[in-house]
A and B are shown apart, each in its own frame.
Chain A
Amino acid sequence: MHKLGRGHRDKVQQFMAITGTSEKVALQALKASDWHLEGAFDFFYSQPQIRAVTDSRHLEELYNRYKDPYVDMIMVDGVSLLCNDLQVEPQDIVMLVVSWHMKAATMCEFSRQEFISGLQSLGVDSIEKFREKIPSLRAELKDENKFREIYNFAFGWAKDQGQKSLALDTAIGMWQLLFAEKHWPLVDYWCQFLQVRHNKAISRDTWSQLLEFAKTIDPQLSNYDAEGAWPYLIDEFVEYLFENGIVQRGN
């Protein structure tokens, strides 16, 4: 950095502060855009491989820190150690976002491949960087489309391997977590309804349709259409809401 002029040095600092990348990446991006800060940002965001510049040696070290002593995977203990290091609760929804980025197949487990390429795509190679990344990951939940992806990802992530559907208890836990973000007022009734009336596992279709339902149908159910091809469980839920006077039947 000493070789750079003062103006250039400021720009590198600024770039690093905003994007949270290493000096190397900042230099590369700034040089490619002829030291224009704006151009460098465009360059940086349009070429993700740049972001992935992470030290694979560091990644390997990180992985080994959490790896299970007996299998080549990060298991429950490793995950809780990771949470500890990241200073988040294991039940924090942000862990779902992390898993989503890692394309993790199952809850509380990361394979070597998932972990390393996940961190690479996040552009993280140390626990400090990872910790700094957490707020921006949390922010992704606010994005409508990303939320949907994360929501749908959660189904496969949370269900038991080899099962087609999601166990009811898990599903209810996930819903309470996810809909706490969305502020869907009917979520508690929904969970209550499932426990009273259904008491069986949840299919993927019902899972994904529920988000659509929560998003498109207002809590007074005024735009609910019985012919609307909703899964029957949702139809029954609506009936349940009317029956129990939770929602007044409109006209």
Chain B
Amino acid sequence: MVLHKYGEKLYSGLVTTMTWHLKEIAKSIEAAQGGLFLEELNRKWGDHNKALQMIRDILMYMDRTFVPSNRKTPVHELGLNLWRDNIIHSHKIQTRLLDTLLDLIHRERTGEVINRGLMRNITKMLMDLGSSVYQEDFERPFLEVSASFYSGESQQFIECCDCGDYLKKAERRLNEEMERVSHYLDAKSEAKITSVVEKEMIANHMQRLVHMENSGLVNMLVDDKYEDLSRMYNLFRRVPEGLSTIRDVMTSHLRETGKQLVSDPERLRDPVDFVQRLLDMKDKHDKIISIAFNNDKTFQNALNSSFEYFINLNNRSPEFISLYVDDKLRKGLKGVTEEDVEVVLDKVMMLFRYLQEKDVFEKYYKQHLAKRLLSGKTVSDDAERSMIVKLKTECGYQFTSKLEGMFTDMRTSQDTMQGFYASQYSETGDGPTLAVQVLTTGSWPTQPSAPCNLPAEILGVCEKFRAYYLGTHTGRRLTWQTNMGTADIKATFGKGQKHELNVSTYQMCVLMLFNSADRLSYKEIEQATEIPAADLKRCLQSLACVKGKNVLRKEPMSKDIAEDDAFYFNDKFTSKFIKVKIGTVVAQKESEPEKHETRQRVEEDRKPQIEAAIVRIMKSRRVLDHNSIVTEVTTQLQSRFLPNPVVIKKRIESLIEREFLERDKADRKLYRYLA
């Protein structure tokens, strides 16, 4: 027919016939009852497809020649269009189809089993009819209905469930929707439907979930609910600002608890426990981040900044961290393997990194290290060194050079002592044995202390040593630091029992006095020894007032030492042990005035550093405004401490006064470098 120029007739005939036929089909579909409706539609669609196939094959010639030249719709497409217009868009079928589909999905959501195959075929049909048909006639209403469904459901859940359960439900719903898409919806719908669920179930309730009483994020953190936390992380990650919400709450929680921890006066009594708690807290949250939060960098940063924030709230943190290390290196690490030591030290270093006032830590560390080295209390040289290496890698050579100097002094002192005794071997009788540690001034945190009067016996050996040392090292000066030494003395008590007493140099001086007297008043002791009053009181207290170690007797009996007390040699002293260690009542933690003093020393030490930084900066920049100087100085010194802007200002003024800098004549905020 096409050959005979009847193409037009054939084509229009096809259209009319097909339209008529489809209208018939439509009627029969409309007639289908209830659930059979979809099946009927599906069957007819299958038939139509088959028929269409055949028609196309039969009219292939027309399809190839007449249709393109006359710009007609190809047969197959024509068939689909007619189906769409006559069946799907037929007034009665269109709404019924949609309602049926949505009803089925709703039923599935509420737990019924539906015929997924049928659903799949129908949606497939809609997709075949063109993506716009699918989107307009099904997807859009589907999304709207879903939104209202989930908004209602989430409202209901949030009223009756705790946070963990809610999240479980939300997760399940999300998975269901994804599964649904993969079973019988267009793959492109997945992103859309999940975003609906995310918005309705998560984004809209985010704040409420996170802050939910007794089960919100804070409680999860406190109770280490890794699964719940991980679920929350994964769900919240899907919505905008979800993670930042978690992060913010976590940060404020950390800051709050951290602040409580560092400002609790109860905690401040025991520095070791204080630091241990900090470490535990850090461990706990590290674990949460690695298990539940996918090791998210932004979370780690939040954790770090929170720690930095609250650790520095307490200005004793540097001291306490150093005390913690001191405690560990004194006794805590006995019987622990090397790796474990490393782990502990690494953790401490982590806290150290948070410190803003690293120079304060250095000060304390030096003091504590000195005490450890001089009293021979350090457990492991390797651990000590490893700590120094860590500090060095963290803060550079300058930071640890003095600490290293202390180790060197200890080593050389050993050699010196060997040399000393080798040269004196002929004379070593039963006189006291002396062990001298020669300390370089400057490396050690020595306080200028008035030397006390040593007993004659000791003085003799000391003089010998002085002669020996100065003989081998000319041009040096030796001063005795009697406040830092220790002594072992043998004493015989009332019933002839012998004890070896391990005491400090000061205590030794006091006890030696009792070789020649049985009763001495406080004043007499003070005069004979010239030990500074505070130290003397402390040392007498430990000799006379500690139960089981009271080698002296005091009158009147009381806890504290008064200036008019008298002391007696305690004849009745007994002890189960031959060796008795008499510790001085030392304040482990610094007392308030000591703390104040250290603080002042630190402030003093900072001044030249700040000035040097200002001069360095001005030397290269020549002219700079005030605020830029402050910023640059702060960045330069950050690794050691956080300089106070007011202090920087004072230093600038001092430099102006000493004519290193001047103010610009025209702009008073500008400084110029002179010279």
Contacts and interface: CB of A to CB of B under 8 A. Distances in A.
Whether A associates with B in a native complex is yes
Contact of A228 (B646, B650, B663, B669): B669
Contact of A165 (B627, B657, B668): B657
A203 B650 CA distance: 11
A232 B646 contact: yes
Give the interface centre of A209, A212, A231 by most chain B CB atoms within 10 Å: A231
B653 A203 contact: yes
Nearest to B662: A205
Given A212-B668, A229-B669, A206 B627 contact: no
B519 interface: no
Contacts of A68: none
A206 B653 contact: yes
Chain B's interface: helix, strand, loop or mixed, by majority?
helix
Nearest to B670: A229
B436 interface: no
A164 interface: yes
Interface in A91-123: none
Contacts of A209: 663, 668
Contacts of A227: 626-627
Interface in A41-71: none
B646 A235 contact: yes
B650 A205 contact: no
Interface residues of A, number: 15
B653 A205 contact: yes
A176 to B, nearest CB: 24
Contact of A229 (B626, B646, B650): B626
Interface string A216-249: 0000000000011101100100000000000000
Interface in B626-675: 626-627, 646, 649-650, 653, 656-657, 663, 668-669
A11 interface: no
A182 interface: no
Nearest to A225: B669
A8 interface: no
A229 B657 contact: no
A204 interface: yes
Given A165-B657, A204-B657, A212-B668, A232 B650 contact: yes
Contacts of B646: 232, 235
Interface string B372-387: 0000000000000000
B264 interface: no
B649 A232 contact: yes
A229 B653 contact: no
A157 B640 CA distance: 43
B57 interface: no
B625 interface: yes
A208 B662 CA distance: 12
Nearest to B625: A229
Interface in A185-211: 203-206, 208-209
Give the interface centre of B625, B649, B650 by most chain A CB atoms within 10 Å: B649
B627 A229 contact: yes
Contacts of A228: 626, 669
Nearest to A227: B627
A232 B656 CA distance: 13
Contacts of A203: 653, 656-657
Contacts of A212: 668
A167 to B, nearest CB: 15
A231 to B, nearest CB: 6
Nearest to A203: B657
A231 B649 contact: yes
Interface in A153-171: 164-165
Interface string B590-625: 000000000000000000000000000000000001
Contact of A205 (B625, B626, B627, B656): B656
Give the interface centre of A203, A205, A208, A209 by most chain B CB atoms within 10 Å: A205
A232 B649 CA distance: 6
B586 to A, nearest CB: 38
Contacts of A206: 653
Nearest to A212: B668
Contacts of B656: 203-205
A229 B652 CA distance: 10
A39 B663 CA distance: 42
A32 to B, nearest CB: 37
A203 B663 CA distance: 13
A231 B627 contact: no
Nearest to A204: B657
A210 B646 CA distance: 18
B353 to A, nearest CB: 30
Contacts of A231: 649, 653
A208 B656 CA distance: 12
Contacts of B668: 209, 212, 229
A209 B625 CA distance: 16
Nearest to A213: B668
Contacts of B625: 229
Contacts of B649: 229, 231-232, 235
A209 B653 CA distance: 11
Given A227-B627, A229-B627, A232-B650, A205 B663 contact: yes
A229 B650 CA distance: 11
A229 B653 CA distance: 10
A200 to B, nearest CB: 12
A216 to B, nearest CB: 9
A212 B646 CA distance: 20
Interface string A111-143: 000000000000000000000000000000000
A209 B650 CA distance: 14
A205 B669 contact: no
Contacts of B653: 203, 205-206, 231-232
Contacts of B627: 227, 229
A212 B254 CA distance: 47
Contacts of B626: 227-229
Contacts of A164: 657
Contacts of B657: 164-165, 203-205
Give the interface centre of B627, B657, B668 by most chain A CB atoms within 10 Å: B668
Nearest to A208: B663
A212 B667 CA distance: 11
Interface string A1-44: 00000000000000000000000000000000000000000000
Nearest to B655: A205
B205 to A, nearest CB: 38
Give the interface centre of A204, A205, A229 by most chain B CB atoms within 10 Å: A229
A227 B645 CA distance: 10
Nearest to B650: A232
Nearest to B667: A229
Interface in B236-259: none
A228 B668 CA distance: 9
B673 to A, nearest CB: 15
Nearest to B654: A203
A203 B659 CA distance: 12
22 contacts: A164-B657, A165-B657, A203-B653, A203-B656, A203-B657, A204-B657, A205-B656, A208-B663, A209-B663, A227-B626, A227-B627, A229-B625, A229-B626, A229-B649, A229-B668, A231-B649, A232-B646, A232-B649, A232-B650, A232-B653, A235-B646, A235-B649
The 5 closest A-B pairs by CB, nearest first: A229-B626, A229-B669, A232-B649, A205-B656, A203-B657
Given A203-B653, A209-B663, A209-B668, 13 more contacts: A204-B656, A204-B657, A205-B663, A212-B668, A228-B626, A229-B627, A231-B653, A232-B646, A232-B649, A232-B650, A232-B653, A235-B646, A235-B649
Interface of B: 625-627, 646, 649-650, 653, 656-657, 663, 668-669
